[in-house]
A and B are shown apart, each in its own frame.
Chain A
Amino acid sequence: MVDLMGKSKYCFILSAIIFIVCIVGFLVNGVVLDIQFQGGTIMQIEMPDDSFDTELAADIVKSAIGKTATVNRSSTFNAANEEERIHLMVLNIASEETLTDDERMAVMDALRKEFNIAEDANVSVNSVAPFIGEEFRMNALKAIAISSVLIILYVWLRFRSMHGLSAGVFAVLALVHDIVAMFAVYIIFRIPLNESFVAAMLTIIGYSINDTIVIYDRIRENMKLMRRASYRELVNKSVLQSFTRSINTSLTTLIAVVTLLAFSVVYNIQSIREFTLPLVVGMISGVYSSLFIASPLYMMWQERKLSKKAALQKAAKS
């Protein structure tokens, strides 16, 4: 039988690297918040083509309302005519004050004068006042805190027979691992955090625990069957037995999420891309952390407890 547990140190090294990358990235890049969490205004204006001058547009906004805007080109899928794409001018105004209705109209009027914007051009606006952003942020943190507590309680309750507390702690540690991996991707690529990320994170918290549970479930079952075996043998066998199904359950879900991600990247559907990218990262990390982090940690912990016990008995005898 393959000795997976013996190779777990390589996995610990890999995970340590992920943690370090995340921390260093955080110190260097910091966290970028989406306007949803920070406040600001994003306007997407339909343009006839993509030849417009973004710097000129930024100047126009500045002179119209006196606020600084970052202007970008973007394009997206056109449902009415698949041959063509919809060209968009994206104004990003992250400021202490959001734009009022008047300011938005002023921006549009000023841009219309300079650019060839159709009379019935499609305009999308997302504007969040900073204090509302703060409220959203607090809600997100509350949701994450409450879910984490509930998951720990649930795991504890379900795994009493296999020293539930330590099993629960390591299961949660695996979750922390997944979240750190998701964060690392966001921080390195400087993707702004928003509610999609929080939703993805909660989904991973709820989903990724499954892999760990499947393996724990097996350990729990094998415990009754192999009473004489050492923890190393027990965990190793259980992980190997659950290996295919852990991989396959994540694989089927990954098929779904990766397909969504691929389509959203090709057709530039921002809301879906923002949501599925962290899911993909979290799921891959999820199956990895269950197999190679939570299970070996649990084994090592139990072995240490046994050897301590043995040492105590030895000490008592002599």
Chain B
Amino acid sequence: MKGNNGLKLFLVFALIAVMTYICFAGSLFGLVQIPGVNDIVPGIDINGGIDAMLYAITEDGRKPTQEELDTAKIIIEKRLDKEGILDRNVTTDLNAGRIIVQIPWAQGETDFDPDRTLKKIGRTALLTFQEVDEENIDEDGNPLPTGKKVLEGTDVIDAYPAQHPQTKGMIVVLELSEKGKESFSEATKRLIGKRIAIFMDDQFIEAPVVQEHITDGNAIITVNRDKLEEAVKEAKDLADTIRAGALPFRMEAKHVNSISPLLGKGALDVTIRASIVAFLLICLFMILYYRLPGLIASIALFMLAIMTLNCISWLGITLTLPGLAGIVLSIGMGVDANVIIFERIKEELRSGKTIKAAIDLGFKRAFSAIFDGNMTTVIVAVILWRFGTGPMISFALTLIIGVILSFLTALSLTRTMLQSVSDLDMARKTWLYGVKEV
């Protein structure tokens, strides 16, 4: 029986050690990579960055359609590409008719200028087809803008990918407006055998060679790729880009939250320090007030903190400052279950029960109160998660994880440790449990 308890205790401590190692090293003793605390995605309020909602500014004030939003998203992505901003998150929200752009501040970036970036990505897409000056090309052989415009984005009614009926190769079909038809006919007559370059803003997209004089306003751009799937993707991208040039509105940032990395870093430092102090104070209180069980609760609480961090990392939850506060709060709440159990154990001891019986009864009788308490917290946290925005979502999620984990650690870890330790001879004094000898 004693040996069994020793084994149990050993297993609990081994588990805590392994989880702590994973948390801080990000691997299982260097053998298997397991995400740890360093792999947690920090939110924009910590790391700095932009969180913006862009709304379409249409002439008649109508909401954009899903298709228009998707196209606008493509424009924004292309422009961010051009700015070299590759780490970003662009999502559309059809109900609200907006596009949400999140750009974390890039490490080492000094010219962080969210206003200019937002202005750039929000303006009306300017798609042009321009004549090519073969002397005026960049190092990759791509033509540079000449300003001699053949067509503009508004001249294109539609653009879509298709398969050429004869060659079976992928093509992009352009339908031009009356005005576009005329100027395209004039240009293709003049430029046979030469290239026409397509630019989005000033960014080069594609430069097909004019094969013939096109008079009916239906142009075809052939996509040359070795593999069919590559060609299909390429054709779709090109068609999307050209359609984007026909989008009749610009996007304006109506909600901007940009945080400088300096402030975020300071806030994070302070919050982490506060968390550590809070944790130590709680442990101190528990040990002074509940003695042996308090010490065991502190160990379980340490595991709770480690596991919360691990779960956040494993689930890929973005950690914001309120999220961090959520962890601290769940540590504070996590100890509640222990308090309820220990108070119950004390009561049972006072009524003259043996330590073993008191512990068993304490856990049994405290269960319903702990369960109810945790359920209500989880209920509101789930609602906050559904209705919250930005950093508060992270708070709701860390709170849910923390509360569930605290329920599990209190009922498994604390219990196992307490039962095993209480069997030792030296742990048979009731004052260790905060009760005078009966």
Spell out A's residues near B (CB within 8 Å): 44, 46, 76-80, 86, 98, 100-102, 104-105, 108, 120, 122-129, 131-132, 135-136, 139-140, 142-143, 146-147, 150-151, 154, 158, 195-196, 199, 202-203, 205-207, 209-210, 213-214, 217, 221, 241, 244-245, 248-249, 251-257, 259-260, 262-264, 267, 269, 271-272, 275-276, 279
Q: Does A263 contact B254, Cβ atoms closer than 8 Å?
A: no
Contact with A along B259-285 (1 / 0, CB 8 A): 111110111111101110110011001
Partner of A80, one of B256, B262, B390: B262
**9 tightest A-B contacts by CB?**
A256-B332, A122-B260, A206-B380, A263-B274, A253-B332, A210-B373, A129-B254, A143-B387, A259-B278
**CB-based A-B contact count at 8 angstroms:** 241
* Residues of B close to A205: CB separation below 8 A: 380
Q: Does B271 contact A269, Cβ atoms closer than 8 Å?
A: yes
* Residues of B close to A254: CB separation below 8 A: 332
* Residues of A close to B368: CB separation below 8 A: 217
Q: Does B336 contact A252, Cβ atoms closer than 8 Å?
A: yes
Q: Does B122 contact A101, Cβ atoms closer than 8 Å?
A: yes
CA distance A253 to B301 in the complex (A): 13
Partner of A150, one of B111, B333, B379: B379
Q: With an 8 A cutoff between CB atoms, is B358 at the interface?
A: no
Q: Does B377 contact A132, Cβ atoms closer than 8 Å?
A: no
Nearest CB of B to A154, in Å: 6
Nearest CB of A to B190, in Å: 40
Partner of A101, one of B53, B118, B278, B379: B118
Partner of B322, one of A122, A154, A199: A199
Tell me which residues from 268 to 327 in chain B have a Cβ below 8 Å from any Cβ of chain A: 268-271, 273-275, 277-278, 281-282, 285-286, 289, 321-322, 325
Q: With an 8 A cutoff between CB atoms, is B392 at the interface?
A: yes
Tell me which residues from 226 to 274 in chain B have a Cβ below 8 Å from any Cβ of chain A: 252-263, 265-271, 273-274
- What are 27 pairs between A and B in contact, CB < 8 Å? A46-B260, A77-B266, A86-B266, A105-B116, A120-B110, A122-B262, A127-B255, A132-B53, A143-B387, A206-B377, A206-B380, A207-B376, A210-B373, A217-B372, A249-B335, A252-B285, A252-B286, A253-B329, A254-B332, A259-B278, A263-B270, A263-B274, A269-B270, A269-B271, A269-B321, A272-B270, A272-B274
Q: Does A262 contact B274, Cβ atoms closer than 8 Å?
A: yes
CA distance A76 to B263 in the complex (A): 8
Q: Does B380 contact A77, Cβ atoms closer than 8 Å?
A: no
Q: Does B321 contact A271, Cβ atoms closer than 8 Å?
A: yes
CA distance A158 to B379 in the complex (A): 14
CA distance A196 to B119 in the complex (A): 29
Q: Does B262 contact A267, Cβ atoms closer than 8 Å?
A: no
* Residues of B close to A100: CB separation below 8 A: 252-253
Nearest CB of B to A303, in Å: 25
* Residues of A close to B176: CB separation below 8 A: none
User: In this complex, what residue of B is CB-closest to A214?
Assistant: B369
